[in-house]
Amino acid sequence: MDFTDKVVIVTGAGRGIGFAYAKSFALAGAQVVIAEYDEQTAAQASEKIKALGKKAIAIKCDVSSETDVNQTVSAVIKEFGKVDVLVNNAQRVPDIRPAEETTPEDMKMAWSTGAFGTYLFTHACLPHMKAKKFGRIINVASMSGVVGDPGNSAYGSNKEAIRGYTRQIANEYGEYNITCNVICPDAMTELAKDFFAANPDTFKDAKLQIPLRRFGDPEKDIAPVVMFLASPGGNYITGQTIGVDGGMTEAR
Ligand SMILES: NC(=O)c1ccc[n+]([C@@H]2O[C@H](COP(=O)([O-])OP(=O)(O)OC[C@H]3O[C@@H](n4cnc5c(N)ncnc54)[C@H](O)[C@@H]3O)[C@@H](O)[C@H]2O)c1
């Protein structure tokens, strides 16, 4: 896949699957923008990509801050004149607990960094994509939300809001050649490692629930699907949810 001359924003690309998206798009020729609130990992991520001779910049941005998001998109437009691809990947994940013990802070953490951040970035990019009659937006949800995993009411409900918002954008902006899709990934990342360290009993079970019996690899298994949705091959796909999870969502 060739993304030469394409401008790609990936939120939360300092580490994990977000970094895999950023690196993969850059290796395919894109100018990548890492929008990440952890200044240190953001800088390290862009340095790693530049060390490969590819194009990346890091912008410190909290996706839950309207000011940060608008400033980030303005800076990208000023520097590069457009946004071709937006990957709304950033997310903070509250601890697992029953719905009745889920706190307002859990809800705010999940929704502000997930659904609200997805809204803010999409909202800021849409006028620029509309003007160019081109835009590829890929949002990130989770199997947890799709199946209503117990203990995940804050995170899961927020991820399902992202799927609903995806369909809205697909319907309202298709006429401007803007597609909007959502993937539900499953990969062994820092986030997943933290989760399994806190919930060791779930580790064995988790693998058994994946028909392919392994966790996904961010670069080899997840990033290529996001790139496909942003490539000409994905031109006629919009409003869809794609499980990139070894078959786990459908199998449950
Ligand atoms: N890892 C999995 O198996 C899995 C499964 C389902 C869904 N997901 C989703 O995939 C995405 C990436 O997951 P991951 O495992 O790489 O997570 P991760 O925690 O390793 O990475 C998330 C990144 O987002 C950044 N971030 C968090 N809040 C932010 C904010 N407010 N502003 C800017 N950046 C922020 C973090 O600093 C981090 O770099 C998330 O949306 C997650 O919910 C992951």
Residue 193 Cα to ligand 1 midpoint, Å, equals 12
Q: Please pick, among 21, 37, 119, 155, the residue that the annotation labels catalytic.
A: 155
Low-confidence ranges of the chain (pLDDT < 70): 251-252
Element (H, E) at 60: strand 55-60
pLDDT at 251: 66
Instruction: Give dist(CA 134, CA 7) in Å, integer.
Output: 11
Q: What is the pLDDT at residue 175? A: 98
- Residue 248's pLDDT is 86
Predicted local distance difference test score (pLDDT) of residue 35:
98
For residue 252, the model assigns a pLDDT of 62
Q: Where are the domains of the chain?
A: 7-251
pLDDT in tens, 30-66: 999 999 999 999 999 999 999 999 999 999 999 999 9
Q: Ligand 1 centre from 175 Cα, in Å?
A: 31
Buried b (16+ CB within 10 A) or exposed e, 201-227: eeeeebeebbeeeebbebbebbbebbb
**Given this model, what pLDDT does residue 40 score?**
98
Cβ(134)–Cβ(177) below 8 Å: yes
pLDDT reported for residue 208: 84
pLDDT of residue 115: 98
CATH number of 7-251: 3.40.50.720
